[in-house]
Structure 1
Amino acid sequence: MRDRTTIDIPAGLEEEYYQINPEILHSFSKFRPPLNIYRFLEPVGRLAQYYKVGDRLTKEQTLELAELVSQGVIFVSRADHAVYVKHISYQLDLVLLDKHLTESEIADIFQIALTRRMEAFFDQPVRLVFDKVREDALVLTEYVWEDFHRTKALAKRLHGVHTLAAHAVNCALTGLHLFVSGQPATFREGRTARTGLDRLVLGLLLHDLGMTRVPALIRDKTKPLLPDEMQKIRGHTLSGYEMLARLDIKFPEMERCVAEHHERLDGSGYPQKLTVGGISETGLLAGVVDSFCAMITKRIHAEAMEPLVAAKKLLDDGRRYPADLVKRLIAGLAGK
């Protein structure tokens, strides 16, 4: 077998094509890969089509293709990015294996995969579906754990239209970036830090779990809510907390995201009307990202705000929101 490192691949080729590794190939349909495949021809220094989507590989070709992939001469076009992203999003751990994807492309994959998981979970909030959410969330934290700077690209892949699933993913990606941007360089040295990060991301994904118990007619109402409807909305934090218990999820970080994301520093929040010192750091973080992500998406009753405008609005409301977190959010949006 040839050493793929000895092959002279022209500089800039990967700006237009992905180089496939064996794990990605094995995830494809064996005889009918989902996208066009190209082979690098060394003598002429260019790519030629090896397989056209819709055709069928022979058994001999599948064996040859595996060998060519091991040599590093098989590529797919970045023009097929949407197909490739969708494929990997169903087997999210593949992003940890493919070293040829850009951070922006990987951020696309995470957004799609996590949104699909959350849609399934909110539709059927049972332990079996949660375990799938957990698997994908751990891939996300593993990816970020290798390099915290990766959260910048993730935080730019936010949905523009509000749904429960879209909001959950927006909050997880925004909150993850906001959290790690405030950590010292030594943060990643302990196992407990990694475990806490895992649970924080899961907590942000599930923080609005209780909203699944609020009828859609109330959630999406454009007219002012009646007192009993408002009571149902405000009851979603307690409902979510109870649902965590029924799912046998008892991690403090997740419980605080669910129970405290509507608490405010001046005691004007709910359900417990906690004040400064009574709200956990996790609860404060969840509260900032929940409000911010709600404001930057288009909802039935409100247009989306520009992210910097929304963040500055939170900063102006310093009686209720922690200024240090909001300033860090603004700094991230401004690219500082």
Structure 2
Amino acid sequence: MSAVKSTIPDNISEEYYQISIEILNSFPKYRPPLDLFRFREDIAQLQPLFRKGERLSNENIEQLRELCIGGDVFVARSDRAIYSKHIIKQLDLVLVDDNLKPAEVAEICIMALGQRLSDFLEQPVKPVFDLFYRDVMVFTEYIWQDRHRLRSFMRRVSRTHTLVSHSLNTLFVGLWLLLETDATLKRRLLDRAALALLLHDLGMAKVPAFILSKTTPLKLEERDKITPHPLIGAKIMHKLGLAFDEMRQAQMEHHERLDGSGYPQKLGADRVSRMGRIAAVADSFSAMICQRPYAKAMDPMTAAAHLAKDRQKYDPKYTAKLQTAVAQNLFEPPAQTSPPAA
């Protein structure tokens, strides 16, 4: 979206989105997916322009384009669910949408990344990965522009445990730990860390669903189907030509522990990488704050304290930062609003 004209009253930008030409071009050409409004500068008010689903003529389209270039086309924020559902298909639009609030961008990004990740987990092939990668790069560009934007995502960590929600939680927590402990972080590492954290549990997609949903202790043969999941995920990414260090470390080391008690390689503290240490803390915390079939959800403060206490297994550098995040209420859910439709 373009910048709001100085002649447009502030209350309008609070109730309406101003549409840029990039946003307009993303809509179906002849039938707008939501109501469109025109700003009348002579009366400083918005008036209906075209209705949702209305068939536009070529003349209407040209008129709409000219008004849009002039910054005079708006949609109502009450249509946020429709707008959000539309924009997740072209996530890069959030980078040109100056009037989207951080909370709205976070919700849109979470929906888009969740859908792309779900598609890739179901079909881990290169064409599907390319779409997923494109949206992850939009997310990292958004965070790179202002790392404080990550706070809006952390306030939206899910308390419902699915592979997708867990992966997103681990992404937000893990990136925060990385950014808080590396002031000179390069963009390339941010991109790689985001991909690695999102796909750290890729191998779990190959574990039978009935095992993941069990509420009773696993049998030995069932546990044997879970333990190799780090290696399975690493093999999938290797076949796609994406076995860079951060990816391999996050996938292979998120269950490793500093005292050598983890799996699958039982690495000691001197062999667990920085990415592995971050992934271990983020993965464990993200799981602990969710209700799972075999464990009750902990509140963030209790979960962070539990990890900080276990200094033999988790790096105190990162568990301390996690406690700081909890103390700053970064995991407090935002005030209830009408969420966009998934």
Q: Shorter chain as normaliser: what TM range?
A: over 0.9
Once the 2 structures are TM-superposed, how far is the Cα of residue 5 of structure 1 from its aligned partner? 7.3
Report the TM-score, using the length of structure 1 for normalisation. 0.93
Kindly tell me the number of residue pairs found equivalent between the two proteins.
328
Inter-CA distance 316–212: structure 2 relative to 1 (3 Å threshold): same
Q: Does the 8 Å CA contact 2:3/2:98 hold for their aligned counterparts?
A: no
Report the CA distance between 1:12 and its aligned residue.
2.9
1:145 and 2:144 matched: yes
Structure 1: any 5+ residue segments left out of the alignment?
A: none
Amino acid at match of 1:257: A
Match of 1:326 in 2: 319
**2:257 is equivalent to residue 294 of structure 1:** no
Q: Which amino acid aligns with 2:278?
A: L
Report whether the alignment pairs 1:260 with 2:253: yes
Partner Cα distance (1:127, 1:100) in 2? 34
Would the aligned equivalents of 2:5 and 2:71 in 1 still touch at CA under 8 Å?
Answer: no
Q: Please say if residues 261 and 290 of structure 1, whose CA atoms lie closer than 8 Å, have aligned partners that are also in contact.
A: yes
1:85-139 deviations in Å (ceiling 9; x for gaps): 1111111111111111111111111100010011111111112211221111111
**Residues 271-292 of structure 1, C-alpha deviation per residue, up to 9 Å, x if partnerless?**
1111212100000000111111
- Cα displacement (A) at 1:309: 2.2
2:305 maps to 312
Runs of 4+ in structure 1 deviating by more than 4 angstroms, as ranges, are 3-7
SS of residue matched to 1:121: helix
State the TM-score, normalizing by the size of structure 2. Answer: 0.91
Q: Which residue of 2 aligns with 1:276?
A: 269
In the alignment, what sits opposite 1:162?
A: 161
Change (3 A) 1:312 1:5: closer
In structure 1, give the amino acid aligned to 2:189: G
CA distance in 2, matches of 1:252, 1:284: 14
Where does residue 104 of structure 2 map in the other structure? 105
Quick one: distance in 2 between partners of 1:66 and 1:57? 12
1:58 aligns with 2:60: no
177 and 4 in structure 1: CA distance in 2 versus 1, 3 angstrom threshold: closer
AA in 2 matched with 1:330: Q
Quote the residue 1:232 is aligned against.
225
Superposed displacement of residue 39, structure 1: 1.3
CA contact (8 A) 1:41 1:47 kept: yes
RMSD across aligned positions (CA): 1.7
**1:238 to partner: Cα distance:** 1.5
Using the TM superposition, give the Cα deviation of residue 179 of structure 1 relative to its aligned residue in structure 2, in angstroms: 1.4
Does structure 2 retain, via aligned residues, the 8 Å contact 1:114–1:136? yes
Equivalent in the alignment of 2:205: 212
The amino acid across from 2:52 in the alignment is: V
Q: Mark the runs of 5 or more structure 2 residues left unpaired by the alignment.
A: 330-342
Kept in 2: contact 1:111–1:158 (CA 8 A): no
Cα gap change, 1:274 to 1:18, in 2 (>3 Å): same
Q: Amino acid of the residue matched to residue 158 of structure 2?
A: H
2:91 is matched with 92
CA contact (8 A) 1:168 1:206 kept: yes
Match status 1:127 vs 2:126: yes
Distance 2:288 2:273 in 1: 23
For 1:296, give the aligned amino acid: I
8 Å CA contact retained: 2:234, 2:243: no
Q: Which moved more, 1:162-171 or 1:50-59?
A: 50-59
Kept in 2, the 8 Å contact 1:4–1:70? The answer is no
Alignment correspondent of 2:334: none
**Following the alignment from structure 2 to structure 1, what is the Cα–Cα distance between the partners of residues 214 and 5?**
63
Amino acid at match of 2:181: G
Q: Verify: 1:244 aligned to 2:237, yes or no.
A: yes
Q: Give the stretch that moved more between structures: 152-161 or 298-307.
A: 298-307
Percent identity between the two aligned chains: 45
Query: Which residue is equivalent to 1:23?
Result: 22
- 1:203 equivalent in alignment to 2:202: no
> Residue type matched to 2:169 in 1?
N
Which structure is higher in RCO with an 8 Å CA cutoff and minimum separation 6?
Answer: 2
SS in structure 2 at match of 1:75: strand
